């Protein structure tokens, strides 16, 4: 099998993978969509909008926060969540780069498949 190239993975690859992973669950896609929709920051309303328990929603929010896609600020007894626009700018850049590198069906590649 020869030896590996041990190239490990690029910083960009890991960042992109982390963002993609954070979006790799329907609930988290739904959450960011909800946050984008009502620009005003909802908090526990998310629980009412989702078919999940409060603790589960809290965990998903934690992962989105870790991925840098969501911010949370304590606002009195409740917590105000909203999108982390800086993180989304990064996501836009990384995803855009990847998609730009992928050929489109129109520009059919001369490849074998």
Partner DNA sequence: TTTGCTTATCGTCGATTTACGATTGCAAAC
Partner DNA sequence: GTTTGCAATCGTAAATCGACGATAAGCAAA
Q: Which does 113 bind (CB under 5 to 8 A by kind): DNA, its own copies, none?
A: its own copies
Q: Which does 76 bind (CB under 5 to 8 A by kind): DNA, its own copies, none?
A: DNA
CB of 108 to DNA, least distance (A): 23
CB of 15 to its own copies, least distance (A): 9
Q: Does 44 bind DNA (CB under 7 A)?
A: yes
Q: Which does 77 bind (CB under 5 to 8 A by kind): DNA, its own copies, none?
A: DNA
Residues 4-23 contacting DNA, CB under 7 A: 21
CB of 106 to DNA, least distance (A): 28
φ, ψ (nearest 5 deg) of residue 92: -60, -45
């Amino acid at each position: 099998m020869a030896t590996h190239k041990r190239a490990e993975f690029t910083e960009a690859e890991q960042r992109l993978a982390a963002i993609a992973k954070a979006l790799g669950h329907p609930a988290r896609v739904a959450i960011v969509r909800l946050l984008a929709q009502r620009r005003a920051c909802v908090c526990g309303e998310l629980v009412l909008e989702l078919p999940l328990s409060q603790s589960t929603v809290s965990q998903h929010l934690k992962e989105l926060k870790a991925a840098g896609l969501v911010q949370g600020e304590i606002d009195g007894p409740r917590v105000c969540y909203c999108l982390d626009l800086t993180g989304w700018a990064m996501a836009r850049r990384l995803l855009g780069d990847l998609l730009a590198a992928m050929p489109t069906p129109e520009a059919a590649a001369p490849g074998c498949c």
